[in-house]
Chains A and B, each alone.
Chain A
Amino acid sequence: MNATATVKDTDIRGLVTFKIGEEEFGVDILSVETIIRMMEITKIPRAPEFVEGVINLRGMIIPIIDFRKKFKMNPRDEGKDTRIIVTNVGNKQMGFIVDSVSEVIRLPVTAIDPPPSIVSGIEAEYIDGVGKLDDRLLILINIQKLFDESERENLEKLEKTLSKQQ
């Protein structure tokens, strides 16, 4: 957007980075509420496949999505590093199961490239950009998009049931 301008403080993005297999991803730190260890998840009948279920996080019931299943990656059993990243966008919460959480970093926007058409099987629409960090590549996930999507699916479902009723 403004790549030629000098890098200001506001032009730095805080990111929480996590790993799926060997690949590294990042989400905006402002959308992350907390990171927790795996806990018992209550399954929900007839929910979409990638919805693992719901958990109780300090009295809130939060839906949990399996990151691998959502992006059609090979499933993997949970290990000792498996974490749930609980995100909060527009007062709605959602948790994502990831293989491990790495660190919190600050990345200047100048080090972020626009997304290529497809990365690691994830459609470009879910990707904010690709960050370069020394010799590592960081795929920035657009959390907002995931929230929007579930909303949209919701509406479609509603429309379908409505048209059926008519």
Chain B
Amino acid sequence: MNDFIKSEMQEFVNDFLIESKELIENIDNDIISLEKEPDDDNCLNNIFRAIHTIKGTSSFMGLEKITNFSHELESVLNLLRNKQITLNDQIMDIVLESIDLIKVLLQDVENGFCSDIDTSLCKVKLTEIINNDSSNYNKSNMADSQKNTDQAAENNLENKKDGIDIKSNAQEYKKIGEILVEEKHISKEDVDDALYKQALDPKIGEILVDEGKISENTLKKALQKQKKPETQPESTMRVEVKRLDDLMNNVSELVLARNRLMQISKYFENLLENNNITVKLSELANNFDILTSDMHASLMKVRMIPINKLFNKFPRMVRDLAKNTNKEIELAVFGDDTELDKSIVEELNDPMLHLIRNAVDHGIESPQERISKGKPAKGTITISAYQKSNSIIIDVKDDGKGIDAKKVLEKALEKKIISQEEAKSATNSKIYQLIFAPGFSTAKKVSDISGRGVGMDVVKTNIEKLRGTISTSSELDKGTTISLKIPVTLEIMQALIVESYDQSFAVPLTSITNVLSLNEDDIETIREKEVLHMKDYVLSLVRLENIFNIDVSEKKKKEFVIILDSSESKIGLIVTGIIGKEEIVIKTLDSHICNSRYISGATILGNGLVSLVIDVAELLKFVLEKDI
């Protein structure tokens, strides 16, 4: 085979893999909902179609193993569809097992080797189902029906592919006159009459208005109605992420160029007032400004994907986990159409997995225990996502046993995560934070689901990496809610530009709660540490110039305190100037030039200078460590 054909083929295989993975992901969810409502033919049909597509494409690719296997599975699904067998737990398990096998087979194709995974056992199970049923079903008949369904499925697919389904197609071409007649604004004769006149003028609606048969408003409404169906079919295309990243880079630079242009235009405005060319330049600059902002906003939208990409995995996972632990659990998902930057959705995968596992394993009790507590036997885990200003909030809530603060404290003391002294003064929210400490686990025995004390640690590190925060609330025997707050996008964010002795730094706006102007005698000293007395608490202060060893040649009189807030604590950061708010594009710095852990990257400001971006989570950690 020559190289060209090989690479062509590889492209096909890649497309096949992407498509199949998506299909399988949807199947998982369809199966779970089918389990709840076994009569839902729509679900069954979806599953059937998906498996059929995989079978068809894999046979075209020459991936025999997948083809043969999905053929068996398809046969079983077909029997279900034709109501020749009824869905029971046993069949459900076999179907799920088969789908897992197909996942493995697809993985093999992706990795480029054939593993010796044994499909025969599962295949036998599938065949058994088929044979059991076909006792009163003759074979030729079966082959016939198989053919028919194949045909039907193919037709279905054709339609799907074009992105239009037949119903909306018919609607699309509904004529304006018909709509008006249907809505009883005019009679059919009026329309015919107008149609006759339309031969001279193509717009029937206007003719009707002119003749006083309908009002202009009615026409507008009808016209809107006419337009609606056209927007229905969704047309999408796949784009390589790298291309989007490249585009993003270019737009980021465009934003910077725009900022420069605005400055130059301002300069000329001041220099040559009322000059013709200057006016034109500033007009152009303003236009450019708007265009760039729009372009930037729409590109950001392109990069956003709905979070259900991530949430889709959970119904299946919860089902399996519940089965393994002999619990009854219902999963409710809200706001799965909330959109987030693609890279963030990917990063959320591990933390969410751990949170859900934890909720199943430690949160929800066994049915007997729940009944004895007077709760319904079936526990509920609720995942909800929603946007709140510039952040996305994801809540993972269970109605299980809640966090026992006492037990957590005991365990933390035993594992020496906190000292006796600290334990005495620890508040509930402080105690809940302990479960995110590395090496912490209260599980009595280590199970393969959780209990090794790694999980929650992962949650915390990953969320902090995304510049997010975690907050926990819990009530004994009522349940636990863990809430994640994550910025909508990573690359671009709002920041406050501050100054410390002529060096500028950017502080992400999401972690700032307040900015105060400071008089020298406001600061008090407790045990050689500077603090500020707030209304109901004492704020410890740190100086930016001390953290970064900035030369302080002459002490500045004017100082400001920026109050930084993380899930754990608050500190005040002392700076010498506030420059303003700016939308910044973060660029990472090579670690060999910047090994300070309090800096998450650099950004280019509107004036063309580089400014360093402060990593607030790390800074807070450092200050807290020093306190202990």
Contacts and interface: CB of A to CB of B under 8 A. Distances in A.
Interface in B256-286: 256-257
Contacts of B418: none
Nearest to A153: B592
A63 B590 contact: yes
A42 B613 CA distance: 12
Contacts of B591: 154, 157-158
Contact of A151 (B253, B592, B608): B592
Q: How large is the interface on A (under 10, 10 to 19, 20 to 34, 35 or more residues)?
A: 20 to 34
B604 interface: yes
Interface string A121-158: 00000000000000000000000000000110110011
Residue among B504, B589, B593 with max Cβ neighbours from chain A (10 Å)? B593
A42 B249 CA distance: 22
Residue among B249, B503, B504, B590 with max Cβ neighbours from chain A (10 Å)? B590
A95 B602 CA distance: 17
Give the secondary structure class of A's interface: mixed
Contacts of A92: 590
B610 A56 contact: yes
A154 B587 CA distance: 19
Nearest to B590: A63
A56 B609 contact: yes
A48 B611 CA distance: 18
Contacts of B447: none
A92 B549 CA distance: 28
Given A54-B610, A56-B609, A45 B589 contact: no
Nearest to A151: B592
B446 interface: no
B503 A43 contact: yes
B252 interface: yes
A48 B549 CA distance: 13
B548 interface: yes
A87 to B, nearest CB: 14
Contacts of B612: 42, 44-45
A40 to B, nearest CB: 6
B597 to A, nearest CB: 9
Interface string B584-601: 000101111111100100
A157 B595 CA distance: 9
B413 to A, nearest CB: 23
Contacts of B599: 44-45
A20 interface: no
A61 to B, nearest CB: 5
Contact of A63 (B504, B547, B548, B593): B593
Contact of A45 (B256, B550, B611): B550
Residue among A51, A58, A61 with max Cβ neighbours from chain B (10 Å)? A61
A47 B182 CA distance: 76
B548 A54 contact: no
A40 B605 CA distance: 13
Contacts of B589: 44, 54, 61, 63
Contact of A46 (B252, B549, B587): B549
Given A54-B593, A59-B604, A153-B592, A46 B548 contact: yes
B610 A42 contact: yes
B92 to A, nearest CB: 46
Interface of B: 249, 252-253, 256-257, 503-504, 547-550, 587, 589-596, 599, 602, 604, 608-612
Given A44-B593, A54-B602, 20 more contacts: A40-B609, A42-B609, A44-B589, A44-B594, A44-B599, A44-B612, A45-B549, A45-B612, A46-B549, A46-B596, A47-B595, A51-B593, A54-B610, A56-B608, A58-B253, A59-B257, A92-B590, A153-B592, A157-B592, A157-B595
27 contacts: A42-B602, A42-B612, A44-B589, A44-B599, A45-B547, A45-B548, A45-B549, A45-B612, A47-B595, A47-B596, A48-B593, A51-B593, A53-B610, A54-B610, A56-B608, A56-B610, A58-B253, A59-B253, A59-B604, A61-B602, A61-B610, A63-B590, A92-B590, A154-B592, A157-B592, A157-B595, A158-B591
